[in-house]
């Protein structure tokens, strides 16, 4: 059984999706803690209502990012985290923390990486005129939004889409691919590429097709 900690900054709908999956009997892993970097994150209630301990480490209480990261690390150690999930955690973690949890730290990003790393992905996708958009679950490496890809969802862009309507359809897929990828990592089924950097990840018992979700509406 792996001990999973979910880090959030906002609404917590991906946290909710993970908790729902974790409540299924066959899941076999436990979400042992939530860490929020803002005391007003609505997702804190999502964790608390599920009876999960929530540690709030407000970024704005710290003058130095190093002190903030030290306290994040302490919370992760206190929870004895095996797997750490960034689920709408809107901070870039420092290299030390990322390296410490290397291969055990994953992130959900709302675009088809490597397209549109960073912020405002839905607006940028519409501006670029792409016909497909989506979300990516990837392992976190020191290079922002560039770690090895575990799962992706593909969402068609509709004429008349706004960043909000597109975001809503992408979010629906995030809730499906993120819990799956978390369970693969928690199961210890993920084999990293032999060369450092981005490459094809092998996941025991999971085909490439099963790692791809295509939304057809
Ligand atoms: C999601 O779209 C996620 O991909 C992005 O931030 C959003 C978080 O949503 N990084 P929620 O807090 O899980 O509802």
Q: Quick: pLDDT tens for 3-50.
A: 999 999 999 999 999 999 999 988 999 999 999 999 999 999 999 999
Interhelix angle 121-128/163-187, rounded to 10 degrees, is 120
φ/ψ of residue 138, rounded to 5: -140, 160
Domain count for the chain, please give it: 1
Answer yes or no: is pLDDT of 217 > 80: no
Q: How far is the CA of 208 from the centre of ligand 1 (A)?
A: 24
Atom nearest to 86 CA in ligand 1 = 10
Rounded to the nearest angstrom, the distance between the alpha carbon of 90 and the centre of ligand 1 is 9
The mean of the pLDDT values for the chain is: 95
Share of the chain above pLDDT 70, in %: 97
pLDDT digits (tens, 9 = 90+) for 117-163: 999 999 999 999 999 999 999 999 998 888 999 999 999 999 999 99
Catalytic residues: 109
**Structural domain of residue 117, as residue ranges?**
3-214
Contact 10, 87 (CB under 8 A): no
Phi, psi of 194 (to 5 degrees): -70, -25
Q: How many CB atoms lie within 10 A of CB 129?
A: 7
CATH of the domain at 97: 3.40.50.170
Measured CA to CA, the distance from residue 173 to residue 154 in angstroms comes to 8
DSSP E strand stretches across 22-178: 30-36, 54-56, 83-86, 105-109, 132-139, 149-156
């Amino acid at each position: 059984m792996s001990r999973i900690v979910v880090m959030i900054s906002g609404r917590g709908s991906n946290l909710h999706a993970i908790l729902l999956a974790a409540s299924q009997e066959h899941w076999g892993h436990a979400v042992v803690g939530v860490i929020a970097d803002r005391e007003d994150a609505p997702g804190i209630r999502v964790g608390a209502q599920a009876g999960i301990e929530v540690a709030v480490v407000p970024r704005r209480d710290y003058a130095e990012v190093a002190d903030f990261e030290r306290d994040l690390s302490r919370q992760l150690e206190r929870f004895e985290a095996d797997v750490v999930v960034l689920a709408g955690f809107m901070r870039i973690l420092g290299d030390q923390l990322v390296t410490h949890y290397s291969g055990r730290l994953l992130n959900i990003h709302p675009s088809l990486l490597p397209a549109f790393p960073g912020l405002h992905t839905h607006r940028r996708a519409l501006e670029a005129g792409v016909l497909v958009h989506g979300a990516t679950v990837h392992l976190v490496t020191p290079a922002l939004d560039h770690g090895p890809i575990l799962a992706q969802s593909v969402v068609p862009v509709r004429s008349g889409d706004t960043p909000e309507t597109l975001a809503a359809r992408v979010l629906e897929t995030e809730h499906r691919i993120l819990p799956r990828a978390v369970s693969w990592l928690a199961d210890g089924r993920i084999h990293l590429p032999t060369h450092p950097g981005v490459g094809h990840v092998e996941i025991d018992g999971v085909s490439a097709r099963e790692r791809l979700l295509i939304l057809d509406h």
